[in-house]
Structure 1
Amino acid sequence: MTGHLITDPTTTPTPAPTLDGWDALSAALTEEAPPIADRDDLVVTIAPGAAHGHPAVFMPHRAAIELDGTLLGIDPATVRPDRTSDRARYAATWGAFVHECAHAQHSRWEPPTVANPAVVEAAMLLEESRIEAAQIRRRPDDRHWLRASATEIVIGDNGGTDAATAIPPTPYSAAHNAALILGRVDGGILEPAETAPVAQVIESILGTDTLDQLRAIWRQAHTVADDDTATMMELGHRWLDIVGPDPHADPAPNSVLSAAVGATVANVAAAVAAQPVPVDPADAAATAEREAERVARHAAAQARAVFGDGSGLGRTASSRKSRAPQADEHAAARVLARALNTAARRERAIVKTTSALPPGRLRMRGALAREAQRAAGAIPTAEPFTRTTRKSVPVPPLRVGIACDVSGSMDDFAGPVASAAWIIARAAELATMPAATATVTFGASVKPITYPGTAPARVTQFSCPDYLHAIDQAIETLDGALELSRPQNTRLLVIISDGYYTGTNRDHAQKHLNRLHAAGCAVLWLAPDTGRAPNPLDGATVHLISNPATTAQAIGRAATAAVRTA
C-alpha cells in the first residue's frame, strides 16, 4: 500500500456495511461517483474502520473506493450527498471522496512489480497533487472540496493526528510535506498565503536550491499524462536521488516542522470555512426556473391589468383621442410588411442522404463497393444512391413591443409615436410571417395604445403632460403581453424616451431590461436629438432621431434586422 492507492490486487476490500445507515450512505455515494470520476463502474464503501488505516483509499483492481466513516462526524442516516448544500456539513469527508474519484479517473499508470519500493513511494507521493490538479482542470468546482480534505489528507499522510504533532524536522520529512502541501499550491488547490508557515520552515530545513529542485519535479509531474508510467517512475527516481530513503527518524514532539504543518492546516481550515459552498447547478437551475415563473406570472398580471379593459395601471393626465389613418400611413404599413416578408425568407436547407435503392443519383464507387461486398459473401452495406432534398427553415414569430415616454419633454414625439404604433401593428397583420405588436405609454402610469394581436382601425393619439416615469411597469407589461423573454420568438423592445429620470422606477427597469437582454430580446432606444445627451438604460442600442417623422422608419428597420438575424 502506497499513499491513497492500494495497487496490490490481492487486498481484500472492507465488507459492505449493513447497519446504522452506512449501507444506504455507501449506496448513495456510489450513485454520486460517476460524474465526479467520469466512470460508472465504481463501488463506494463508507464505514467506521474502512479505508485500511487511511481517511480514504482507491483500489484500482477492484474499482473500489473506501472511506473511513469515523471521520464523517455526523449520523450517516442524515446525510444527503445528492445535495451540494448538505455536503458542507462533512466537507472534509466529501473532499476525500472527490480525491479518490480523482485517483479513479487520473491514476491510470501502474508501477512495475519489480520496481524499487522507495521509488514507487516517491512517485505515488507526487501523484497526490498531480491527480488533484488534473481533477480541477476537468471539474473546477471540485477545488472547494479538495481544499477541505487537504487538512485530513496531510494529517493522515503524516501518520495520523498524534504523529502529525511530532514530525521529525529531517530533510526527508520536510520534502514529504513539501510535496503534500506546496505541491498542492502549484496544483491550484491551496493558496501561498495559507501555506506560508510551512513553506518557510521547509525551506530552512532543505535549503533554497534543494527545494527548487523538488519543486521542479512536482511541477513536471502535474503535466504528465495519466497513463505515463515511465515518466512518473523517472520522476520518482529523481526525487529519491535528492531526498534519499526514509531514515525512520524518531518522533520529535514540539518540532518546528510539526508546528508549521499545524499552523498551515489551521489556515486552510479557516479559509475553507469562510468560503461559500459552490452552488449546485441543479439547485441554481431550479431556483432560476422558479424565479422565471414568478416574473412571468407578475408580468402576465401587469399585461392583463393594462390590456384587459383598456384602463391601464393608475391614473394619468395624458388625454386620448383617435383619428383615421392617412394614406401615407397605409403605404408605410404595406412597405414594412413587404420588408418583413423579404427578411423572413430563408434559403432552404440542403440535406443529402444515401440509400441502397432508388430514387437518387447512382454513385459508381458505391455501386462497385456493394458488388464487391456481395462477391465476398458479406452482407452488402454500401449505399450507392444519393438524394438531395431541400427543406424550408421556419422563422420564429416576431414580437415587437413599444413603450413611449409621455413626460413633457417628449411632447414633440407623441404624434409620430402614435403613427408608428399604428403602422407597426398594421404591418404585422399584413405580413405573411406570424407577428404581433403592442404599444403602451408610460408616465405616472402605463396605458395601452395598440393591443397585442390586433390591428387597430384608427390611430390613437395621446398627449404628454406627465412628469413621472413608470418605465419598469411598461417593460414588464410588454413582456407579459408579448412574451418578450421567451427565446422561441424573434423579439424587439423599443423604448422612446430621453431617459431623464432616476429613482426606483429606473433601477427596476434596468433589472427588467437586463433580464430581457440575457434572454436574447433586442432592445432599441430611440432618443430625441435635442443637443443634450440622452440617458438611456444600459444594454440598449441607442438611435438619435432629429426628425420625429423618422420614428416609424427607425422602428421598422430594427424589426426587419431582428427578423433577419433570428
Structure 2
Amino acid sequence: MTGHLISDPTTTPTPPPTADGWDALSAALTEEAPPIADRDDLVVTIAPGAAHGHPAVFMPHRAAIELDGTGLGIDPATARPDRNSDRTRYAATWGAFVHECAHAQHSRWEPPAVANPAVVEAAMLLEESRIEAAQIRRRPDDRHWLRASATEIVIGDNGGSDAAAQIPPTPYAAAHTAALLLGRVDGGILEPPECAPAATVIETILGTDTLEKLRAIWQHAHTVDDHDGTTMLALGQRWLDLIGPDPHAEPDPDSPLSAAIGATVANVANAVSAQPVPVDPAEAAAIAEEKAELAARRAAAQARKVFGNGTGSCASASTRTTRAPRPDEHAAARVLARALNNASRRERATVTTTSALPPGRLRMRGALAREAQRAAGAIPTAEPFTRTTRKTVPVPPLRIGLACDVSGSMDKFAAPVASAAWMIARAAELATMPAATATVTFGASVKPITYPGTTPARVTRFSCPDYLHAIDDAIEALTGALDLSRPENTRLLVIISDGYYDGPRRDRAQKLLDRLRAAGCAVLWLAPDTNDPPDPLTGCTVHPVTDPAATAHAIGRAATTAVRTA
C-alpha cells in the first residue's frame, strides 16, 4: 500500500457495513461517484474502521473506494450527499471521497512489481497533487471540497494527529510535506498565503536550491498523462536522488516543521469554513419545491382548522349575528358580477393552419409546388389550402381572500366588511367566469365569515373587541382554502387592517406574504384613514379608505383589475 492507492489485487476490501445508516450512506455515495469519477463501476464503502488505516483509499483492482467513517461527525442516517448544502456538515469526508474519485479517474498507471519501492513511494507522493490538479481542470467546483479534505489528508499521510505533531525536521520529512502542501498550491488547490508558515520552515530545512528543484519535479508531474507511469517513476527517481530514502528519524515533540504544518492546517481550515459552498441550481430548485410543498401542506391544515366542514365554530371574543342582505347589496353584487364578466372577456386567438386537402382557401403557389413535386416523381409535401380559425382563450379561475382585523381600532370597518364579504361571495356565484371567495377575521384567533365555494344566505355581522392579531394564521388559512399560491389561478388577497402590531406573528405573516407575492398573488391592503398613518406589511398595494362604506367598491375594483390583467 502506497499513499491512497492499494494496488495489491489480493487485498481484502472492508465488508459492506450493516449498521443503521452506514449501509444507506455507502449506497448513496456509490450513486454519487459516477459523475465525479467519470466512471460507473465504482463501489463505495464508508464505515468506522474502513480504509485500512487511512482517511480514504482507492483500490483499482476492485474498483472500490473506502472511507473511514470515524471522522464523519454526524449521524450517517441523516446525511444527504446528493446536496451541496448537506455536504458542508462533513466537508472533509466528502473532500476525501472526491479525492479518491480523482484517483479512480486519473491514476491509470500501475508500478511494475520489480520497481524500487522507494521510487514508487516518491512517485505516489507526486501523484497526490497531480490527480487533484487534473480533477479541478475537469470539474472546477470540486476544488472547494478538495481544499476541505487537504488538512486531514496531510495529517493522515504523516501518520495521524499524534505523529504529525512530532515530525522530525529532516530533509526527507520537509520534502514530503512540501509535496503535500506546496504541490497543492501549484496544483491550484491551496493558496500561497495559507501555506506560508510551512513554506518558510520547509525552505529553511531544505534550502532554496533544493526546494526549487523539488518544485520543478512536482510541476512536471502535473503535466503528465494519466496513463504515463514511466514518466511518473522517472520523476520519483529524481525525487529520491535529491532527498534520499526515509531516514526513520526519531519523533521530535518540539519540531518546528510540525508547528508550521499545524499553522498551515489551521489557515486552510479557516479559509474553507469562510468560503461559500458552490450553489447547485438543481438542488436549489429541489429545496424550493420541497419548501413550497411543505408550505402548501401547512396552509391546507390551517384551512381545515379554520373552515372545517363549513360549520366551523365561531367561539371568539368577537360576537356574531346575522341579518338578511339589503336590496342595495343584492344590486351591488350583480354589478360586480357583470364587471367580472366584462373583465374576463378575451379576444379570440387567431390560428392559421395549412393542409393538403380542403376545407380552406387554395393558394396557387402551394398548388403549383405540389404539382411540380408530383411531376418530378417526388412525394408531394406542399399544402396548398390554408384555414384560419379563432379560438376562445380560457380565463383563469378567480380566487379572492379577505382578512379583516377585529381589534378595537377597526370597529368602524366591521359592518362594511361584513357587507362586502357577502356581496363578493354573491358576485362570485352570479359571475359566468369561475370564481371563489372566502372571508375571515383575525384577532386572538381566525374565524370564518364566508366559506370557499358557498354563498351565505345571510350577512354575518361581527364585533371588533380583540387586541391580539393572528394575521399569519389568517393569511395561511386563506392560502390553503383558495390555493392563493397556485399560478394557474387569478388571485387576490385583501387585508383590512391598520397594521398596529408587531412581534413573531407579524414577522411570519411577512414571510407568508412575500411567498404569495413571489407566486404572483396580488395583495391589497385597505387601511383606515386616521390621524396616525397605517403600518401595513411590506410589499402590499396600500389603499387608504376614507369612508368605510367604500370598502366593497375598493375590493371589487381590485378584483376586476386582477381579472383584466390575468
TM-score, normalised with respect to structure 2: 0.66
Greater shift, 36-45 or 278-287, is seen at: 278-287
| 20 and 489 in structure 1: CA distance in 2 versus 1, 3 angstrom threshold | closer
Aligned counterparts of 2:292 and 2:342: Cα–Cα separation in 1: 37
- Provide closer, same or farther for how the CA distance between residues 296 and 276 of structure 1 changes in structure 2, counting only shifts above 3 A: farther
Equivalent-residue separation in structure 2 for 1:214 and 1:524 (angstroms): 71
For 2:308, what is the secondary structure of its paired residue? helix
Give the equivalent residue in structure 2 for 1:299: 303
In the superposition, relative to structure 1, how do residues 257 and 302 fare at CA in structure 2: closer, same or farther (>3 Å)?
Answer: same
What amino acid sits opposite 1:316 in the alignment?
A: S
Deviation at 1:132, TM superposition (A): 6.3
Given that 1:324 and 1:458 are in contact with CA atoms closer than 8 Å, whether structure 2 keeps it comes out as no
- By how many angstroms is 1:489 displaced? 3.5
Out of 317, 322, 325, the position equivalent to 1:323 is: 325
Specify whether residues 244 and 28 from structure 1 end up closer, same or farther in structure 2 by C-alpha distance, changes over 3 A only: same
Q: Which amino acid aligns with 2:244?
A: H
1:495 equivalent in alignment to 2:495: yes
TM-fit CA distance, 1:161: 6.8
Partner of 1:334: 337
8 Å CA contact retained: 1:315, 1:445:
no
Q: 1:301 offset after TM fit, Å?
A: 1.4
- Return closer, same or farther for 1:335/1:516 CA change in 2, 3 Å cut-off: same
Q: Distance in 2 between matches of 1:192 and 1:351?
A: 67
**Secondary structure of the corresponding residue to residue 417 of structure 2:** helix
Unaligned residue ranges in structure 2 (runs of 5+)? 113-118
Distance in 1 (CA, whole Å) between partners of 2:104 and 2:564 is 50
Q: Aligned partners of 1:537, 1:481: CA distance in 2, in Å?
A: 21
The Cα of 1:329 is off from its aligned counterpart by 1.2
Cα deviation 1:175-210 (Å, max 9, x = unaligned): 4244356569x648x9977x6743664576799999
Identify the residue that residue 541 of structure 1 maps to in structure 2. 541
Residue 323 of structure 1 aligns to a residue whose secondary structure is coil
Contact 2:425–2:450 (Cα < 8 Å) also in 1? yes
Q: How does 1:11-22 map to 2 (within 5 A)?
A: 12=9, 14=11
| Contact 1:340–1:433 (Cα < 8 Å) also in 2 | no
Once residues 365 and 258 of structure 1 are traced to their aligned partners in structure 2, the CA distance between those partners, rounded to angstroms, is: 85
Amino acid at match of 2:243: P
8 Å CA contact 2:444, 2:469 repeated in 1: yes
Q: Tell me, yes or no, if the aligned pair for 1:174 and 1:206 is still in contact at 8 Å.
A: no
Asked if the contact 2:333/2:424 (under 8 Å) is kept, the reply is no
2:49·2:69 contact (CA, 8 Å) conserved in 1? no
- Cα distance in 2 between the residues matched to 1:354 and 1:251: 88
When residues 404 and 28 of structure 1 are mapped into structure 2, their CA distance, relative to the original with a 3 A threshold, is closer
Which position in structure 2 is the counterpart of 1:66? 65
Gap change, CA 1:302 and 1:218, over 3 Å in 2: farther
> Aligned pair in 2 of structure 1 residues 206, 500: CA closer, same or farther (>3 Å)?
farther
Aligned residues of 1:337 and 1:430 also touching (Cα < 8 A): no
Give the equivalent residue in structure 1 for 2:513.
513
What is residue 182 of structure 2 aligned with on the other side?
A: 179
**Higher mean C-alpha deviation, range 163-172 or range 292-301:** 163-172
Cα offset, 1:404, TM superposition: 1.7
TM-fit CA distance, 1:436: 0.3
Equivalent residues in 2 for 1:351-370, closer than 5 Å: none
- Given that 1:472 and 1:512 are in contact with CA atoms closer than 8 Å, whether structure 2 keeps it comes out as yes
In 1, the alpha carbon distance for the partners of 2:95 and 2:244 equals 30
Contact 1:321-1:462 within 8 A present in 2 as well: no
Q: Which residue does 1:450 correspond to in 2?
A: 450
In 2, Cα distance between the equivalents of 1:290 and 1:297? 11
Work out the CA distance in 2 between the residues paired with 1:331 and 1:209: 95
- The answer to whether the 8 A contact 1:312-1:445 is kept is no
Rounded to whole Å, the distance in 2 between the matches of 1:402 and 1:210 is 79
Matches of 2:371 and 2:38 in 1, distance apart? Answer: 43
- The 5-angstrom pairing of residues 225-304 of structure 1 reads 246-248=242-244, 250=247, 253-254=251-252, 255-265=255-265, 289=293, 292-304=296-308
Say whether the 8 Å CA contact 1:301–1:480 is kept in structure 2: no
Q: CA deviation at 1:499?
A: 0.7
**For residues 363 and 58 of structure 1, what CA distance do their matches in structure 2 show?**
70
CA–CA distance in 1 between the matches of 2:522 and 2:515? Answer: 11
- CA drift at 1:545: 3.5
State the Cα distance separating 1:298 from its structure 2 match: 3.4
Partner of 1:436: 436
RMSD (CA atoms): 6.3
Question: Where does structure 1 lack aligned partners over 5 or more consecutive residues?
Answer: none
Question: Contact 1:130/1:187 (CA < 8 Å) preserved in 2?
Answer: yes
Give the Cα separation in 2 of the matches to 1:202 and 1:560. 77
CA apart distance, 1:395: 4.7
What is the one-letter code of the residue matched to 1:323?
Answer: P
Q: Match of 1:64, as an amino acid?
A: A
Alpha carbons 2:442, 2:470 under 8 Å: kept: yes
State the AA in 2 paired with 1:497: S
Please say if residues 47 and 70 of structure 2, whose CA atoms lie closer than 8 Å, have aligned partners that are also in contact.
Answer: no
Query: 1:466-477 residue pairs with structure 2 within 5 A?
Result: 466-477=466-477
Task: After TM superposition, give the deviation of residue 426 of structure 1 in Å.
Answer: 3.1
Note if contact 1:527-1:544 (Cα within 8 Å) is conserved in structure 2.
yes
- Partner of residue 97, structure 1: 97
Tell me how far apart the structure 1 counterparts of residues 375 and 149 of structure 2 sit (CA, whole Å): 64
The answer (yes or no) to whether the contact 2:404–2:496 under 8 Å persists in 1 is yes
Structure 1 CA distance, aligned partners of 2:108 and 2:557? 62
State the shift of 1:443 in Å: 3.9
Which amino acid letter does the alignment assign opposite residue 528 of structure 1?
P
C-alpha distance after superposition, 1:318-357 (max 9, x if no partner) = 66544324176145313431244137x7857x798999x9
| Pair 491,59 (structure 1): closer, same or farther in 2 beyond 3 Å | farther
Q: 1:52–1:12: structure 2 CA closer, same or farther, 3 Å change rule?
A: farther
2:31 counterpart of 1:31: yes
Whole-Å separation in 2 of the counterparts to 1:258 and 1:392: 79
Tell me the distance in 2 between the aligned counterparts of 1:415 and 1:507.
29
Matched with 2:40 is 40
1-structure distance, mates of 2:78, 2:444 = 52
Q: Which residue of 1 aligns with 2:152?
A: 152
Aligned to 2:314: 312
Q: Provide the secondary structure at the position in 1 that maps to 2:495.
A: strand
Q: Quick one: distance in 2 between partners of 1:519 and 1:192? A: 46
Counterparts in 2 of 1:445 and 1:191: CA distance versus 1, 3 Å: farther
Which stretch of the first structure deviates more once superposed, 330-339 or 428-437? Answer: 330-339
- Report how far residue 400 of structure 1 moved: 0.9
* Alignment correspondent of 1:130: 133
CA distance 1:541–1:39, change in 2 (3 Å): farther
User: Is the CA contact (8 Å cut-off) linking 2:306 and 2:446 kept in structure 1?
Assistant: no
Other-structure match for 1:166? 167
Report the Cα offset of residue 435 of structure 1: 1.3
Q: 1:261 to 1:478 in 2, by over 3 A?
A: same
Are 2:409 and 1:409 aligned? yes
Q: 1:393 to 1:17 in 2, by over 3 A?
A: farther
The TM-score normalised by the length of structure 1 is: 0.66
* C-alpha distance in structure 1 between counterparts of 2:527 and 2:242, whole Å: 78
Identify if the C-alpha distance between structure 1 residues 460 and 229 changes in structure 2 by more than 3 Å, giving closer, same or farther.
same
Question: 8 Å contact 2:318–2:406 — kept in the other structure?
Answer: no
Identity of aligned residues (%): 55
Partner of 1:559: 559
Conserved in 1, the CA contact under 8 Å of 2:403 and 2:495?
A: yes
Pair 1:460–1:38, CA change in 2 (3 A): farther
